[in-house]
Amino acid sequence: MRLIHMCFGTSMNPNKDRIGPFIEAEWTYGELPFWLHDVPGIVFRSDNGPFKYHMGKWVTKVVNMMKSEKLYASQGGPIILSQIENEYGRIEDAFEDNSGSRYVHWAAGFAVGLKTGVPWIMCSQKDAPDPLINTCNGFRCGQLFGGPNSPDKPSMWTENWTGFLQRYGDEAFVRSAEETAFSVAEFIAKKQGSYVNYYMYHGGTNFGRTAAARIITSYYDQAPLDEYGFTRQPLWGHLKELHAVVKLCTQPLLFGSYEYSYLGQDQVAHVFRGESGECAAFLANNDNTTSAKVHFQNSSFNLPPMSISILPDCKNVAFNTAKVCTQQNTRSMYQHDSDAKAGLYAVSKAHVLHLFVNGAYIGYAYGGRRYFKLEETVHLNNGTNEIALLSVMLGFPVLK
């Protein structure tokens, strides 16, 4: 969902409200409206009165909209987190006189004051002021994330990059299913990660002039669900299997104690033990060229290079990040059998609607008031079919 008809941008997944106001997303101006440029004395994303005024107005508007629909978890809704700003830590030092730091503290205090009843986060912001939670964005947060900046905060990965933005003239970046799964398992085990959000899980299209400078209109087409909604295999299937196995480890991951031990020079075990005997283990081989045979709890396990084996019962391997069982390098597409029959349905606000399929005239429907329906059973060929609709209007409507 993007509320682009308002003054700032907001992007949302099913359980996180990323209000911004600057959200990046490789959108032009990072989804800040262009008219802000003409506000006298404004300095974007800084301890600047005009910017803070418009930012506060926007964030308050969005939060009140969410509250009115009872969307926050505190109201029984699906939103469990809200994000203020985006990756600000990467530019904070560019502002002189400590303006960047003052802006961070102002934004944090302003957000908390809106009383949504759910936690607020700042991604890529190591010094996120309490009670805001600092989170990680990147490819390998299991290695690069320094952890929460206070012991009462969880480890959260707000952007696990499944691919990367593509600029005009560049080749598409393809991240392997094996490496992506390894990074997720590593973050959960090594950092005791409690939240992993993929960026992007579903690709899309930046229509018109919404894409940022030098960014192509196709956006994250290499994601598990591509630009058109088709599954990208093997990434989609491999991650589905990974998360199904992680779910089997829920009890010890959430409520168990954590142990860490070496199994070899580049091999380690991350073990979670529950009070009632539950046990889950993540056996990691960090050597990216050589397989390793390790011993764990009186059993031997073969670990492929750069892989993690997940044992939901600390005995049996249910998943290995380097072993891909789903089909390779495909998009899923459903095709009808040759000469298949399909139902075609269209709604029109015109007066007459004619239907053509593969150059053949099929039929028509008509109406005269608000709208009417055209419903036909048509024959489709295996592969590409051309469907054409000819809409007819008889004069302009009367304005009252």
- Written as one letter, the residue type at 391 is S
pTM as predicted:
0.81
Is residue 169 included in any domain, yes or no?
yes
Same domain, 31 and 151: yes
pLDDT tens by residue, 293-345 = 999 999 999 999 999 999 999 999 999 999 999 877 777 766 555 566 788 88
Query: 136: Cβ–Cβ under 8 A, 6 or more apart, which residues?
Result: 123, 124, 144, 145, 155, 156, 157, 158, 159
| CATH number of the CATH domain containing 287 | 2.60.40
The CATH number covering residue 232 comes to: 3.20.20.80
Whether residue 99 is found in the same domain as residue 35: yes
pLDDT at 8: 37
Catalytic status, residue 178: no
pLDDT of residue 400: 43
Reported in sequence order, the residue ranges of 119-274 that DSSP labels E, i.e. its strands, are 120-123, 133-138, 156-161, 195-199, 204-205, 218-219, 232-233, 257-262, 267-273
Q: What is the mean pLDDT of residues 153-174?
A: 95
Q: What is the pLDDT of residue 105?
A: 98
Q: Is residue 6 in a domain?
A: no
Give me the residue label for tokens 């004395």.
Answer: 41
Domain stop point among 204, 222, 248: 248
- pLDDT tens, 8-47? 344 445 577 889 899 999 999 999 999 999 999 999 999 9
Q: CA-to-CA distance for 44 and 26, rounded, in angstroms?
A: 17
**pLDDT > 50? residue 357:** yes
Is it the case that residue 369 has pLDDT exceeding 90? no
Q: Which helix (H) or strand (E) holds 60?
A: helix 49-68
Mean pLDDT of 246-253: 97
- Is a pLDDT exceeding 60 seen at residue 122? yes
Shared domain for 169 and 316, answered yes or no, is: no
pLDDT digits over 298-310, tens only?
A: 999 999 999 999 9
User: What range defines the domain where residue 186 resides?
Assistant: 11-248
Last residue of a domain, one of 225, 248, 271: 248
Residue 396: the pLDDT is 54
Q: Cα(185)–Cα(196) distance, rounded to whole angstroms?
A: 10
Average pLDDT of span 365-386: 85
159 with 200, same domain: the answer is yes
Beta strands in 297-336 (DSSP E): 299-303, 307-311, 319-320, 330-331
Residues 37 and 45: their CA atoms lie apart, in Å, by: 12
Which segment of 9-18, 285-294, 384-393 scores lowest on mean pLDDT?
A: 9-18
Question: What whole-number percentage of the chain has pLDDT above 90?
Answer: 80
**Same domain assignment for residues 195 and 344:** no
Evaluate the omega torsion of the peptide bond into residue 397 and state whether it is cis, within 30 degrees of 0: no
Q: What is the pLDDT of residue 334?
A: 61
Q: Classify residue 399: in a domain, yes or no.
A: no
**Domain final residue, candidates 261, 290, 320:** 320
- Residue 160's pLDDT band, with cuts at 50, 70 and 90, is very high
- The answer to whether residues 350 and 201 belong to one domain is no
Residues 6+ apart with CB under 8 A from 38: none
Q: How many domains does the chain have?
A: 3
Flag whether pLDDT at 4 surpasses 50: no
Residues 64 and 129 in one domain: yes
List 31, 159, 227, 241, catalytic entry: 159
pLDDT surpassing 50 at residue 7 = no
Of 26, 31, 87, 92, the catalytic one is 87
- The rounded mean pLDDT for the chain is 91
Indicate whether 64 belongs to any domain: yes
183 and 148 inside one domain: yes
Residues 276 and 365 in one domain: no
Write the pLDDT tens digit of every residue in 180-227: 999 999 999 999 999 999 999 999 999 988 999 899 999 999 999 999
Assess whether pLDDT exceeds 70 at residue 5: no
Residue 239 pLDDT > 90, yes or no? yes
In a domain, 3, yes or no: no
Shared domain for 260 and 365, answered yes or no, is no
Tell me, yes or no, whether 211 lies in a domain.
Answer: yes
Q: Catalytic annotation on 92?
A: no
